[in-house]
Each structure stands twice: as structure tokens, then as C-alpha cells.
Structure 1
Amino acid sequence: MSWVLRGASLAALAMASAPVLAQETTEGRVQLASADRSDVDTIIVNGQRVVGDGQVATTARIGILGDQDVLDTPFSTSSLTSEFIANQQANSLTEVVENDPSVHSVYGGRGASWTTTFLIRGFQSRSTDDVAVNGLFGLVNYAPSINYVDRVDIFKGPSSFLNGGVGGVGGTFNFAPKRASEAGNRHIGVSYLSDSILGTEVDFGQRFGNFGARVTGVYRDGDGKINGSTFKQQNASLGLDYATDSFKIGADFIYEDTFNRGYLYLVSLAGYPASAPFPRPVEGQHRGQPDWMGAGYISRIGTVRAEWTFAKDWTATAAYGHSFTSGGYDSYCTVELLDTAGTTRCNVFGYYSQEKNDSADVSVRGKFTTGPISHSIVFGGNYINRVGENSGSIPFPTSYTFNYYNEADRPSRPTFPTRPAVLLGSKRRITGFFVGDTLGIADDLVTATVGVRKTVVRTLSFNRAGVV
């Protein structure tokens, strides 16, 4: 940014004990002149813009347009860095993105829902559908970790054209994985979460010429603040990259294993009298549900992305990712509050599922001019294939009744029925082709982005007999 200082600014400078004036020469250097030079009446000061002390990045991934300066695009985006995540001591995506006033967590905390769900500008967005890893959607699990994330991009608004039919109306998120820095990365940390969840985390990275490797790991285990609750988390990631002037390739391998038991889950008011006053919540760290309720998952993700600059201003990109996630509730109690006294009915069931997901995209980007108009063109296609298998709901032979407000009045842990086979439940395939062009005039002071995309979505659902 530039300021032109005249008049009063010159007078202020003249009050200095060793007054000098600065004038930019034709070669761009700064020339010093004595204060009595009458031919110097203008000072031009050029400054480098600094944003958020490194906590807010100036770059974000804008779908098919790739990484762009957030101030050079007409979209509402924000990008939060790993430094911001560390300063916030955030352990989940929810704790990061809720710093954006446009984003709100639907269920509020760990264990409250099987899937991390947000409202972006009032529209629902789920982690399994609307979170990408290095630009690839459809790979993220129910409650993604962030220990391997260098940058969280938040895109607010519809993005079907940019992302290929997977983006919700409210917006999407993108994880940019960590890469080894030139100076190397060395970090070992310990953590303490109430009530007694202890943890450690490691982050090591090193470059060997054009090749870099980054390893992260997190382990947490202990009792939570809610009476009887426990939490265990084991995450690890490996990020590899190789870069030359014309070719870049990066690969990421992510492992996540999380299980929690006894947290506050949802309470149904379906059987609660409509004329009764709104029920009061349980107090403080007291639990309203049985402490044997538990849920967890194991997730494995692998991605690779390559970029080749085959000519000046022309780059080809290809990416592929695969993920496998399994998990569920070993016992879940649908807590239904029946009256103001706290009478509660608990219908117990189990549920298990697993997903196998593939995601890929290819594109070519290039720049050229036609007369006074510049063009930044991109064309390509994307592919997402998701196969879901589940056990169906596993009912327990009996239901339980207890008092919601009396923590001592909780049913004992039931005998779990034999887990049924996990069978094919759904298939979903998304294919798309796109072309886009950002046109600019007056040295790109005025730009407009136009484009078209064709997307085909095919969804099949199966019953327990395997019939569509």
C-alpha cells in the first residue's frame, strides 16, 4: 500500500533532530536529501501488508480455481493457519471454525452427535460431505482431527460449480496438509484436558533438497469432565512432497482412532407434554444418560496430488484419494424425557457402519490474452465414489426407565447382542466436467469469472436383503 505525504507531513519531518527526506529514484531506490532541498515536495512510502500475525493466511483453495489470494476473488473466504490452531489450543474442527461468526456447530461438542455438523450462514453442512483434504471431497470421516492440518479454508456460500456438486448451500471447508519447512520442524507437546485426559503430540519435519517429509502424532486418554465419561484418541499422519521448478507431487497418509463413552448426548422431547414448562437441564458435570453409552470410529485416508507446468503459464494437475472408515455405537440409548419430574425412557440399540470412498480430479490451467482481455482458463473433471455398508439398527431386548435428574438412578450396562453382519447399504457416484475462465481488463483491475459444469449424481440404496 502507498501513501503520499504532503504539506503538514513535511513540516512534521522537519522537526526531527536529524531531518532527512526520502525520494524514490527511477531505479526504485530511495535517495536521501537534506532538509533544505526545495525541489522535493513528495514522499512515497511503500509497506508490506501483514495479516493476522501469521494466524490468517492470505491464500485459500477456491475449488477448481486452485489456491488464490482471498482478496483477488469475488467469494467470501477465510483461511486459518496452524499457528492460529495452536494459539487457540484447538483439538477439533469445531473449535477452529467457530471463530468465524458465520459458522456455528449444531451439536456443540464431542460426543453429542455421530457426525460433526455445522450451520454456515444458517444452512447445514456435514463433515462427511463438505470437508475436503487437499481439494478432494468425500474422504473425511465423521469427526475429523486437525493435527495434520496446516491451514483450514472456509468457503461461505454455494460452491457446486467450484467443487462439483458436493458443496452445501452454506459453504465448505478444505484442509491443507502440513509440509516440511526449509528450516525443519521439531515439536513435542503435552496436554491436559479436564477431568484427567492426558495427552502428548509430536510434529517432526525435514527437507532433503527437493524432498520433504512431515510426521505428526497425537495420543490422548483419560476421564472427561462429565461424570463417568472417558475419551481416547490416537492419530498419526505422514506427509511427503517433492518439488522442482516445473513439477510438484505430494502424498498424505492419515490414521485416526477415536472412542468416547458417557458424554452428553441428545435428549428427545417427543413424549414430553406440550403444555408443561420447558425442562431444566442436568447440573454441571452430572450426566443425564447412562455412562456405558459409547461411540467411536477408525479412519484411514490416503491422498496424492501432482502438478506439472508443461509450458509457460500452463499447468496440468491430477489428484486421487481413498479412505476407509469403520465405527458406530456399541450401545446407544435414545433418551426420551417424559415429564417435568425427570421420568425418562431409554431404548437401547447398537449400530455399526463402514465406508469406502474414492475421490479424484484432473484439470488443466492456463493463461493467455485476446487483445485487451486476459484469460485464466481451467478445464477438467472430477469423480467421487462412495460405498456405505451398515449393520442396521441392532435392538436390545428391553427398554429402561430411570430419573433423568438423579444420577444414581441409572440402568446397569445390558448384555450386548451378537453384532450382525455389515451389509451393503448405499452407493453414490458423482462425476462432473467443467470449464471456467477468469477474464480481466485494465491490468486485471476488473475481473469476471464465468464457467459451466455438468454433474451427474447416481445414488442407490439397498435393504438388508441386498435389494435396491
Structure 2
Amino acid sequence: MSHRHPRRCHLALLIAASLSTPCAVAQDGQSPRADDAARMLDRVIVTAQRGNQTGVSRAGGVGVLGEQAAEDVPFGIRSFNAALILNQQPQTLGQVLENDPSVRTTYGFGNAAEQFVVRGFALAGDDIGYDGLYGILPRQLVAPELYESVQVLNGASAFLNGAAPGGSGIGGSVNLVPKRAGDTPLNRVTLGFTSPGHSGASFDIARRVGGDAAWGLRINGATRGGDVAIDDEDRQSDVLGLALDYTGNGFRAALDLAYQDIRVERLRPKVTVNNVVPRVPDADLNYGQPWQYTELRDVFGQLRAEWDIGEHTLLYGALGARDGREDGVYSSLTLLDAETGDASVSGSFIPRTDNNEAATVGLRTQLETGPVSHALNVGVSANWLTNRNAFEFYADAMPTNLYNPVDTVRPSTVSFVGGDLSDPFPISKTRLTSAFVSDTLGVLDDRVLLTAGARLQKINVRSYSNVTGALTAEYDEQDVTPVFGVVYKPVDGVSLYANRIESLVQGGTAPASGANPGGGAPLPVINAGEMLKPYVSRQTEIGVKLGHARLNAGVALFQTDRETAFLQPDPATQGALRFGPFGEQRNRGIEFSAEAMPVDGLRMIGGVSILDTELRRTVGGLNQGNDAVGVPDLLVNANVEWDVPALPALTLTGRAVHTGEQAANLANTTHLDSWTRFDIGARYVTLVRDHPLTLRFNIDNITDARYWASAFDSFRPDLLQGAPRTYKLSASIDF
């Protein structure tokens, strides 16, 4: 028997005996050796996320500062790993981020595009990072199967990541790290099913070859499709990822390539309301239309390299690109009578293509000047984004009902058309360039770390006529976004920190129409298509982090002020709206998050966010001091996993997600009720001919609660209904 893991060997034999699987007996009829059983159990642990792993780490990419442990940086960061993603069986990025107490998910722009609310501010899909690069990921929906980790950085990050091309990311950023080959060979196949008729399969293969295992290859992909829990809503997804990497002689390089194709039919849309919150329909009721669909196809990737040009000096660079195409016929539902549920349906056809590139080059070096250590960082970055867009809006306003939906014919009466529907031409071209420099000074054996830096950012945006394609407007803006942060570690495992950082984002684009303040059909926007100038948001934050073998936790207090754009009645034009920066939004909050393992076999992750938002400097004092729309005052998350002592192969899971009350209009005369959702699950591990097999069963929203999940929207007061009870099953085998 191995002397290194006697307890683990005992557990391995116990599992093998209790399961009575064929692998419990060797082929020669003799009992397997204890060390063989131990190795088998180790493989089970990796597959099933056991061994006191919470699935969350306090480390990750911190923009241009590189990979960092949370205890060493003056910012809050958490990473959700691939094991957690595999076990929870999410179908979208938003379902992964449901684990974070500072994040909530909604839809943006009237379609299936996931939009995230971080610290009360929008984070659009355009502004999700791909291994630190903007503009490379698919912009609406992201299938999570291709990623090793999902990293959440709380707070503004203009210095760390550069200006977000989509004009969001003020309250925080999300970065996805693609899968690459690890030290251990991997062969994994997973079959999955989601009620009532959504099924699929995925594979994951990884190898390291060559001398010193210098070359790594990983190929993984997934295909799934069918009806989800919302009646007649159908989702199809196909993804494929390839990663080739090399490590040797102080040089590291990686090529990541990916393909994603997603189609959503009969999406249940958000509900446009006018100063009223209707009762919630049945949890699985679909008031979408049969002719509604969106199809998203993306090819994207990156080439990344690092070279150790000295013992303490690193030269790095990355180049990424994306080719994306979107087609969709969308429906919007406008509530006319909250009591009866009478509503109207309108539609639009919007094809779009995107061609984006991103690049960054930098140098990091460490040196000492007397008792002070330095971590210097200098570099440049650039993004080039071309949006080719066309649209056709329909005048038809067909009757339906929120509680008894009516299938209507596809609208055909064109009210407004722009661009070439068969071959969209450029509507906007954006070029973001920046140069950055920073230094992290360490004193007292690096128990005090002071970070100071600045990034000179330039934003160039060209807009073109949606009729002729001719250049109609251009502006060049630049600003310096600084960062100041300090970390003090009085004792091992404790970090006190503070930061002052800014966010520079491109101004929003005025929509074509908006909700009518007096009720009725939407009103046109007089400056539709106009892009607002960039504006700066400023954040201050203080906090404390705890790091222990059984507990990682953090508490943060923050304040962020940002200029805010609204739709307001245009005083010079009757019956029209104008989109502009008509005020300031101040968000103050307290965040607590933790991952704990109080005893062996019990793992918990969760946290609490308390938010206080305030509208300031509004035009004529209108809505002055009110809460921002769609920002809950309280967020609570709690995940628990328990390895049943009497049967070590069985793990029970549970999750509670609570979202507090949120304003549903600017006047704060209507609010969404708070809501709580409960999820449960189980995971069972066995061995099939020495191969670990993991069986999972999850139930999301076990009570089938009906609730309005969010009132957050970029342009108008829209309500998103929460998903109904959903059953998920999957089986993974490693061989």
C-alpha cells in the first residue's frame, strides 16, 4: 500500500466495493492493488470536482498586469473553473455568471443577446474579453463549453483592459480563457439532456507531445439542440475549439481557434411596459412568435506569445480576430392593458456582420532599487471594429395577449428601412488605440504594494449613412485614464486594499425609437443613430481579502459616478424623443463574497451585494435622487455541495439566488418585487472498466417560481421574465 495516501486508498477500495462495478476486480480475478485504486479515485476526483475544490479561485488575468493572485492586487477578482461549468451544465455564459453575487443577467437590444449587470452597470456582450482581448468573442450569446475559466473583475478597468468598444463595463469586466492542453492526457465524452427536449453531446481531447512535452494540442466541441423549458422555444448550438501551444527555452506561444453557430427560434421576448408592472405569466408560457428567430455564426481566435528575455523580464504580445454574422427576424411585445394582458406585436429584420481585430504588445520587468521592489509594465494596444448593418422595421401592430398569446402572421408593412439587406455595408468603424505604463512598488518584503499607472486612450469613431453608406460623422477623442491602488498585508492571509480607477467608454448610440411617455405606440428618436461622445466614470473602493486553506473571502465598499444617457421628449419637436447624456448615476455598494470548506466534504460559495443607486444632475431636476432602473438593492447567492459520508460517490448540491426589489421606471412609481430561486442537484461517480463516469442531475428553479427577473434595459422600460423549472441530466466518461 502506498504510504503517501493511505486514507485515499481506503476510500478508493470502499467506493469500488460499494458500487460492485466490473473494475472492482482485476481481469485476473484478483483484487486490484490499493495504489491502483488510489489512482483511479484521483481520476474520479478530477472529473467530479471533488477533493475539497469549490470550483472558484481568487486569481486570474488582471488586464495588462497579467495573471495575479487576488491578494496581491487592489481589485476584486474571482475565477469560475471548467469543473464547475461541466457540473452545473450551463448553456450560456449568463448561466455561469449566476454564481456571482455581483452579477445579474438580462437581454439587450430586443433579441437573445445576453447583457450583464455588474455593480448596477451594464456589461454588453461586445465587451467580454477573450484572454484579455476585446471584440474577439461572439457579441450576443456565448456557449461556455470552450472555456477553461470565466473570470470576473469587479469595478472599472479602463487602465487594466482599455476602453470597452461597446461602451459598457463600468461596473466590472468578464474575461474568458480558452481551453489548452494540461499536463495530463484527456479523453472525455459527455452526453446531456435538458427538459423537455434539448439534448446534445460534447468531446474534449488533449495531449502534450515532443521532447519535454513542449507541444500541446487540445480539441473540444459540442452540439446540442431542441426545445428548452419555455414552451416552444428552440435553441441550437454548435461549437468547436482548437488550441495549439508550445513551451520551451523561455518561450511560450499559443494559437486558439474557435467556431460557434447558435440559432434561437421563438425566443420569449422582453415585455415593453409603460409605468406599470403586470402580474407575471405562467413560468413556462411563451408569448413569442413562431416567425421569430436569430442565428449567430462566428469564427474567431488569437495568436499569443511570451518570451523571457531575461531572468525577470517578459516580452509579450497577442493578435486576435473575429468574423461574425447575425441574421434575425425579431418581435417585440408592447403591453397595452395590464389588467387584461392585451398587447401588440411588432417586428423587424436586422442582418449584421462584424469584422474585428485586436492587438497588444507589452513588456513586464521586475527589479529592485534598495529596499523597494518594482514590477514595471509598459505597452500598447489597439482595436479595429467594423459593423456592417442593415434593418427593416415593420409598421404592423398585431394584437396578442400576454397571458393568452396569439400566433400572428409575420409582419410585412415596411415603416423604415436602412442599408442593404442582402449585403450590409459599414454603418460604423471604430478604432481604439492606447499606450500604457505602470509600476507596482513593494516595500517591507512586499507586504505593502503600491500600484500607479496611466493609459493614454484614443477613440476614433466613423458613422455612415444607413441609406447611402456615405460618411456622415466622425470624431476623435482622447483622454488619460489613471489608476492608483495600494495593498497592505499585515499578516499572512490578510490583504487590505484601496483603489482609485476610471472608466472611459464610447458614448451610446441613439436608438430608432423609444417608449411613448404618454402611452401608445413607440415614438421616433430625433437623433437616431447618433453616437455620443465618450465619457469618463470614476470609482473609489476599499476592501479586505482573507485567504486560508479552508476560507477565501472578500469585502469591498465602492462608489462609482458615471454620466448617463436617457431618452427624453425633444422640446423642439412634437411627438419625438432625443437620446443624450442627461444626467449622472452614482452607485454605492457593499460586496461580500466567500468560498469555504468548513469540514471535509462540504463546499460553499456565495456572497451578498447591497447597492444604493442615485440619479443626479438630471435635466430640470426630473427624477433627481431616484433609483436607477433595473438595479436591485440586494443580491444574494449561496451554493452548497455535500459529499454524503455514507456513500462517498454521491454529492448533493443546492443553490439559492435572491434578487431584491428594483425600480421599473425612471420616476420610481413602479417596482419589480424581489424574487428567490432555488436549484438542487446530485452528482454520482462510478468506475466503468477503470474509467471514471460522472452522472449529474440538476433541477433549476425547483419551485417553478414565476417572477420578473429584471427591468434593466439599455433604452426603454422592458421586463424580462425568469426561466421556469428546468431539469438537466448529463453523463461524462474519461477514457
For the aligned pair, the TM-score class normalised by the smaller chain equals 0.7 to 0.9
Q: Equivalent residues in 2 for 1:377-456 (5 A)? A: 377-392=376-391, 394-396=392-394, 398-407=396-405, 409-413=406-410, 419-456=421-458
Give per-residue Cα distances to partners, 1:386-415, cap 9 Å, x unaligned. Answer: 0001112x13463322233224x3213457
Q: Distance in 2 between matches of 1:158 and 1:286?
A: 38
Letter of the aligned partner of 2:469 in structure 1?
A: G
**Aligned residues of 1:115 and 1:128 also touching (Cα < 8 A):** no
Q: Distance in 2 between matches of 1:342 and 1:177?
A: 45
Q: Distance in 2 between matches of 1:278 and 1:437?
A: 51
Of 216, 220, 238, 1:234 maps to 238
Post-superposition shift, 1:218? Answer: 0.7
Q: Is 2:288 the counterpart of 1:289?
A: yes
Q: Which residue of 1 aligns with 2:53?
A: 53
Give per-residue Cα distances to partners, 1:217-257, cap 9 Å, x unaligned. Answer: 11011122222221111111001100014000001101000
Of 133, 137, 140, 2:134 maps to 137
Post-superposition shift, 1:343? Answer: 2.1
Q: Equivalent residues in 2 for 1:59-458 (5 A)? A: 59-107=59-107, 113-129=111-127, 131-141=128-138, 142-166=140-164, 168-208=169-209, 209-270=213-274, 278-329=277-328, 331-339=329-337, 340-392=339-391, 394-396=392-394, 398-407=396-405, 409-413=406-410, 419-458=421-460
Letter of the aligned partner of 1:333 in structure 2?
A: S
Q: Distance in 2 between matches of 1:52 and 1:153?
A: 20
Could you say if the C-alpha distance between residues 194 and 360 of structure 1 is closer, same or farther in structure 2, counting changes exceeding 3 Å? Answer: same
Q: Structure 1 vs Structure 2: percent identity of aligned residues?
A: 28
**Aligned residues of 1:349 and 1:395 also touching (Cα < 8 A):** yes
Could you say if the C-alpha distance between residues 226 and 55 of structure 1 is closer, same or farther in structure 2, counting changes exceeding 3 Å? Answer: closer
**Aligned residues of 1:322 and 1:359 also touching (Cα < 8 A):** yes
Q: Which residue of 2 aligns with 1:24?
A: none
**Aligned residues of 2:396 and 2:413 also touching (Cα < 8 A):** no
Could you say if the C-alpha distance between residues 145 and 416 of structure 1 is closer, same or farther in structure 2, counting changes exceeding 3 Å? Answer: farther
Post-superposition shift, 1:52? Answer: 6.1
Q: Distance in 2 between matches of 1:356 and 1:52?
A: 44
**Aligned residues of 1:229 and 1:291 also touching (Cα < 8 A):** no
Could you say if the C-alpha distance between residues 223 and 91 of structure 1 is closer, same or farther in structure 2, counting changes exceeding 3 Å? Answer: closer
Could you say if the C-alpha distance between residues 227 and 88 of structure 1 is closer, same or farther in structure 2, counting changes exceeding 3 Å? Answer: closer
**Aligned residues of 2:396 and 2:412 also touching (Cα < 8 A):** no
Could you say if the C-alpha distance between residues 182 and 282 of structure 1 is closer, same or farther in structure 2, counting changes exceeding 3 Å? Answer: same
Could you say if the C-alpha distance between residues 215 and 63 of structure 1 is closer, same or farther in structure 2, counting changes exceeding 3 Å? Answer: same
Post-superposition shift, 1:353? Answer: 0.7
Letter of the aligned partner of 1:67 in structure 2?
A: E
**Aligned residues of 1:112 and 1:263 also touching (Cα < 8 A):** no
Structure 1's unaligned 5+ residue stretches are 1-49
SS in 2 for 1:86: helix
Letter of the aligned partner of 2:59 in structure 1?
A: T
Q: Distance in 2 between matches of 1:421 and 1:177?
A: 32
Q: Distance in 1 between matches of 2:448 and 2:144?
A: 37
Structure 2's unaligned 5+ residue stretches are 1-49, 415-419, 473-735
Q: Equivalent residues in 2 for 1:30-45 (5 A)? A: none
Letter of the aligned partner of 2:455 in structure 1?
A: R
**Aligned residues of 2:292 and 2:330 also touching (Cα < 8 A):** yes
**Aligned residues of 1:54 and 1:81 also touching (Cα < 8 A):** no
Post-superposition shift, 1:419? Answer: 4.0
Post-superposition shift, 1:424? Answer: 0.9
Letter of the aligned partner of 2:308 in structure 1?
A: T
Q: TM-score, normalised by structure 1?
A: 0.83
SS in 2 for 1:53: coil
**Aligned residues of 2:110 and 2:332 also touching (Cα < 8 A):** no
Q: Which residue of 1 aligns with 2:498?
A: none
Give per-residue Cα distances to partners, 1:151-199, cap 9 Å, x unaligned. Answer: 1111000110111122722011111111112221111011101110110
Residues 69-78 or 51-60, more deviating: 51-60
SS in 2 for 1:147: helix
Q: Distance in 1 between matches of 2:231 and 2:176?
A: 34
Q: Distance in 2 between matches of 1:338 and 1:53?
A: 51
Q: Distance in 1 between matches of 2:107 and 2:347?
A: 21
Of 438, 457, 469, 1:466 maps to 469
Q: Distance in 2 between matches of 1:51 and 1:66?
A: 28
Post-superposition shift, 1:125? Answer: 0.8
**Aligned residues of 1:54 and 1:83 also touching (Cα < 8 A):** no
Give per-residue Cα distances to partners, 1:65-102, cap 9 Å, x unaligned. Answer: 10011111111111111112122222221111221111
Letter of the aligned partner of 1:364 in structure 2?
A: L
Post-superposition shift, 1:284? Answer: 3.1
Residues 211-220 or 331-340, more deviating: 331-340
Which structure has the higher relative contact order (CA within 8 Å, separation 6+)?
2
Give the paired residue count.
Answer: 408
Q: Distance in 2 between matches of 1:158 and 1:64?
A: 14
**Aligned residues of 1:112 and 1:264 also touching (Cα < 8 A):** no
Q: Distance in 2 between matches of 1:284 and 1:124?
A: 26
Letter of the aligned partner of 1:118 in structure 2?
A: F
Q: Distance in 2 between matches of 1:361 and 1:306?
A: 11
Q: Distance in 2 between matches of 1:219 and 1:139?
A: 21
Letter of the aligned partner of 2:56 in structure 1?
A: V
Larger radius of gyration: 1
**Aligned residues of 1:317 and 1:364 also touching (Cα < 8 A):** yes
Q: Distance in 1 between matches of 2:229 and 2:200?
A: 15
**Aligned residues of 1:198 and 1:222 also touching (Cα < 8 A):** yes
**Aligned residues of 2:305 and 2:317 also touching (Cα < 8 A):** yes
Letter of the aligned partner of 2:137 in structure 1?
A: V
Q: Distance in 2 between matches of 1:222 and 1:173?
A: 29
Could you say if the C-alpha distance between residues 447 and 428 of structure 1 is closer, same or farther in structure 2, counting changes exceeding 3 Å? Answer: same
CA RMSD of aligned residues (A): 2.1
Q: Distance in 2 between matches of 1:203 and 1:145?
A: 15
Q: TM-score, normalised by structure 2?
A: 0.53
Q: Distance in 2 between matches of 1:261 and 1:334?
A: 14
Q: Distance in 2 between matches of 1:451 and 1:94?
A: 32
Q: Distance in 1 between matches of 2:170 and 2:89?
A: 29
Q: Distance in 2 between matches of 1:403 and 1:83?
A: 43
Letter of the aligned partner of 1:170 in structure 2?
A: G
Letter of the aligned partner of 1:338 in structure 2?
A: L
